[in-house]
A = this chain, B = another copy of it.
């Protein structure tokens, strides 16, 4: 064995690597931060190829189906491409935004003690038969047989799987509770009519958390804790949200809330009381109910799109799978459960839906795929001397503001006018666009800085640019 290892070591040293890669300086940034002098340039990004085309295609059928702004804009700039009805390819900008969102979610879930796991999509029929959901879920469940004829579904949610998993832990003690397990994975749901792009798809990313507690009282505390983390998440994204009383649906349980973003294309109607905290999905209310059940004030209605859903489940699932722990008296006891979903791809689309104008995408600042876009002057223009200057500014920014490494994009399409490229940048919604126009040739050079999320424009010298960018939050 030792001889083998020595030989392999020798082989690996000898093996032909035609390309010598630059070595990395150890760092903990997730995104690949290019070496100094290596600049991220827009002309090489696969993303925005459709940007200058007007034709937007939807596999979901006729263009009349493009009824929602986020879907139209995301297709138009090439953030998503249709693969099959309700299934989209996510293109590089979208993957970057989604990975950022997942990092925010990870922080919030881990801050309350969440532990990240990963459960398979292939879910054995027996689990679903045990809870009767194999029949109850009907045609929403995508089903298949393996080569041995065994039945599976593609998990739209994982109450069954996680409860069976926890039930298999025979030595679980009350001291280890509450247990908060979550995952961020693809989910599948055979929607009767997939639509609105990433808002209602058949394959989508979801964060699902499942909690296990030793008593109904602590389970209620855990429920509040997770709801608090959801509030914190949406606040950090700068999104206005409503936490509404909701139906438990096929998931079951006794208490449920939806986190809704108020938006015109929303598929839910919410009743809101302007004078107290109360808000509810109207399906939970009596049709005749016009007044707030808490303060009796008049209710107003608004449309919302659901981005999160929480359920207090009690022992509905733990009793079926016998998910027990040893209580303080040394006796086996059923765990009190909760489950909590966040639509990951849906939050991206919903955020774009609420923040964008009709023509221009706007992102929650934290999730923008790139924070800064630099636009040098057009080749052959009077300001062309500033093209090189912009390259240096790029290098200086990533040097002086390390968190922006990998976050600055140089729009090197210098055959286009500044105006045309600014139009594109406006459409894609980089939080900061920095232009080298006429005043870049002044001494000291001044750059035109667009803060797209606030609408402010300013002329700043290099120090001013650095000072501004130092404060950019990057996840």
| Chain A interfacial positions (CB closer than 8 Å to B) | 4-5, 7-9, 11-12, 14-22, 24, 26, 28-32, 34, 43-46, 49-50, 53, 81, 83-84, 87-92, 94-96, 98, 103, 106-113, 115-124, 139, 142-144, 146-147, 152, 154, 161, 165, 168-169, 171-172, 175-176, 179, 181, 185-186, 188, 190, 192, 202-203, 224-225, 227-229, 231-232, 234-236, 240-243, 262, 272, 274, 277, 279, 302, 403, 473-475
Are A144 and B143 in contact, with the CB atoms below 8 A? Answer: yes
Are A188 and B122 in contact, with the CB atoms below 8 A? Answer: yes
Are B117 and A95 in contact, with the CB atoms below 8 A? Answer: yes
Partner of A107, one of B24, B120, B232: B24
Given contacts A84-B124, A181-B46, contact A11 B242 (CB under 8 A): yes
- What's the dominant secondary structure at chain A's contact region? mixed
Are B190 and A146 in contact, with the CB atoms below 8 A? Answer: yes
Are A110 and B277 in contact, with the CB atoms below 8 A? Answer: no
A sample of 15 more A-B contacts (CB under 8 A), given A43-B176, A146-B190, is A8-B262, A11-B242, A11-B279, A16-B243, A19-B229, A46-B115, A46-B176, A49-B169, A49-B176, A88-B120, A89-B120, A90-B119, A98-B118, A121-B188, A122-B188
Across chains A and B, which 7 residue pairs bring their CB atoms closest together, nearest first?
A32-B110, A19-B228, A144-B144, A18-B224, A90-B118, A87-B120, A8-B240
Least CB separation from A106: chain B residue: B32
List the B side residues contacting A119 at CB < 8 Å. Answer: 83, 89-90
Partner of A21, one of B17, B92, B96, B228: B228
Partner of A89, one of B112, B118, B188: B118
Are B227 and A18 in contact, with the CB atoms below 8 A? Answer: yes
Query: Separation in Å of the A156 CB from the closest CB of chain B?
Result: 13
Q: CA–CA, A231 to B26, complex, Å?
A: 18
15 example contacts (A-B, Cβ-Cβ < 8 A) are as follows A5-B262, A7-B272, A8-B240, A12-B234, A14-B277, A21-B228, A28-B29, A31-B110, A44-B113, A46-B115, A83-B120, A95-B118, A122-B188, A144-B144, A154-B154
